[in-house]
Amino acid sequence: MEEKFTGEGSGHDWAHIRRVWLMARHLAQESPAADAEVTELAALLHDIADWKFHGGDYEAGPRAAREWLQTQGAAEALIARVETIIREVSFKGLGVATPVSSVEAALVQDADRLDAIGAVGIARAFAYGGHKGRALHDPAVAPVAHDSFASYQQNTAPTLNHFYEKLLHLKDRMHTAAGKAVAEQRHAYMEGFVAQFLAEWDGQA
């Protein structure tokens, strides 16, 4: 994954994958029932083929992970568990439930979402928006609570809307207590950022 993703400019670079892997391991310390091999493999492979860069194909990631694990001679039971986690990890719009079916999926989903909030999360959002040619902010464009994955995928709103459409809600969607604790602190930082951003936007000294 390091070889494949080093230098990827879209926010799904190796640095993101590495942080999710390290955070999943950190969160796992408080979930002794979690299988470390499954958790770490899913964290490392969760962005192997993102739908956003594969024509909206949501099965591209799970399929690519399965195919790579097969080349490594992994057992079918392990492959199936990792594939399911990758299918469950992604955010699909504010109005779309994203339940997890295992403790390992909870850890990886929390770790991935923690990397979308806080200082790094703010940087990633604007990097993604820049990559897509989006405005930083436009007060005339109201945030939308996307209630289908299709409408979330087709969204082209200014980047500040993404805070209201996703980032400021992630704290309340943590599955693990350890994830929630990290999220609280990052959320507070992000709220301060948005307040300062809006004040500066209107030319406040």
Minimal distance in Å, beta carbon 47 to Ni ion? Answer: 4
Interface positions, 15-54, toward Ni ion (CB under 5 A): 47
* Strands (E) located in the chain: none
Give the angle subtended at the CA of 185 by the CAs of 12 and 32, to the nearest 5°: 75
Residue 112 within binding range of Ni ion, rule CB under 5 A? yes
Rank residues 32 and 138 by Cβ distance to ligand ADP and give the closer one. Answer: 138
Distance (Å, whole) CA 5 – CA 65: 14
Give the pair of three-digit tokens for residue 113.
């979402």
Binding at 28: pick from Ni ion, ligand ADP, none (beta carbon under 5-8 Å per type):
none
Rank residues 66 and 124 by Cβ distance to ligand ADP and give the closer one. Answer: 124
Contacts with ligand ADP by CB under 6 A lie at 11, 50, 90-91, 112-113, 116, 121, 124-125, 128-129, 155, 159, 162, 166-167
Distance (Å, whole) CA 5 – CA 26: 22
Minimal distance in Å, beta carbon 129 to ligand ADP? Answer: 5
Minimal distance in Å, beta carbon 205 to ligand ADP? Answer: 28
Q: Is 155 left (phi over 0), alpha (psi -120 to 50) or beta?
A: beta
Distance (Å, whole) CA 6 – CA 14: 5
Residues that bind Ni ion (CB under 5 A): 47, 112
